Structure 1
């Protein structure tokens, strides 16, 4: 995973992104994307999701946190797998957000429509605190 993060930072932008140039307050970015559970640890069931979360440490060029999801069948928390091309996209989104946060142009689009249907079951999502908030609505999380 670190190799993919380094490659995106070195190759996907007009100028390479030097992790030493990233201010500490913007280094950690949480982004969502498509992921798979290739077999529950307990019941072996597989599933995919379009709302899986990673917290990236752009200065350390690593995944700081991979948010888990519980299996719908047996309620066992599982780590999710992100395809390499999806991880590349997520790293690019994190870097672009970091730049916008630095220059004050970032505007979050999440949480605009609080009446939209839930994209997943909150009770299965670690980022939703297993039912206590809504991860897709941003920091406040709405109820």
Structure 2
């Protein structure tokens, strides 16, 4: 499948030119559903995941990276592949995320997040020890990272508060 042509098609459908994409916001990390079959010849492992992560460069209209997942049976790394309809939705989400950089006043981005290890079904969304994006267990990719949370107070206000305390 030609992911670049899908990116171009979705952007054309939305009326967005790559020239409008700012360099600093051109790369967007998104996730989607993938059915993965182990590529190791002597393994028959296969699984579904909603945590297949990709980084899409909207300015250059290409995939920068697709994160691997390890097979539970043999520990072999496998690259997820996306159906066209799923990848189209991922591109739309990337465009929605990028839009906040082009017009921050008119965009409200609601990002689904998991605040604990439980996804509501009694366990984590996937086994982080098998996910490259999670660092194979180092930091679960389904948790909201601290860098995405708004700062508590601007530096100037913090300095004024510190002076008042002295």
TM range (shorter): 0.7 to 0.9
- Counterpart residue number, 2:59: 59
- Counterpart residue number, 2:24: 25
- Describe the superposition over 1:30-84 as per-residue Cα deviations: whole angstroms up to 9, x where unpaired: 0011012133325132211111100000001000000000000011111111000
Cα distance in 1 between the residues matched to 2:68 and 2:146 = 20
Structure 1, unaligned stretches of length 5 or more?
A: none
Which one is further off, 34-43 or 67-76? 34-43
TM-score (norm 2): 0.76
Indicate if the aligned counterparts of 1:69 and 1:78 stay in contact, CA closer than 8 A.
Answer: yes
- Counterpart residue number, 1:96: 96
Three-state SS of the structure 2 residue aligned to 1:127 is coil
Three-state SS of the structure 2 residue aligned to 1:109 is coil
Cα distance in 2 between the residues matched to 1:69 and 1:94 = 21
The alpha carbon displacement at 1:115 in A equals 4.7
- Counterpart residue number, 1:109: 111
Structure number with bigger Rg: 2
Indicate if the aligned counterparts of 2:114 and 2:142 stay in contact, CA closer than 8 A.
Answer: no
Structure 2, unaligned stretches of length 5 or more?
A: 148-166
Q: 1:35 to 1:50 in 2, by over 3 A?
A: same
TM-score (norm 1): 0.87
- Counterpart residue number, 1:8: 10
- Counterpart residue number, 1:131: 137
| CA RMSD of superposed structures (Å) | 1.9
The alpha carbon displacement at 1:19 in A equals 0.7
Give the aligned length.
Answer: 138
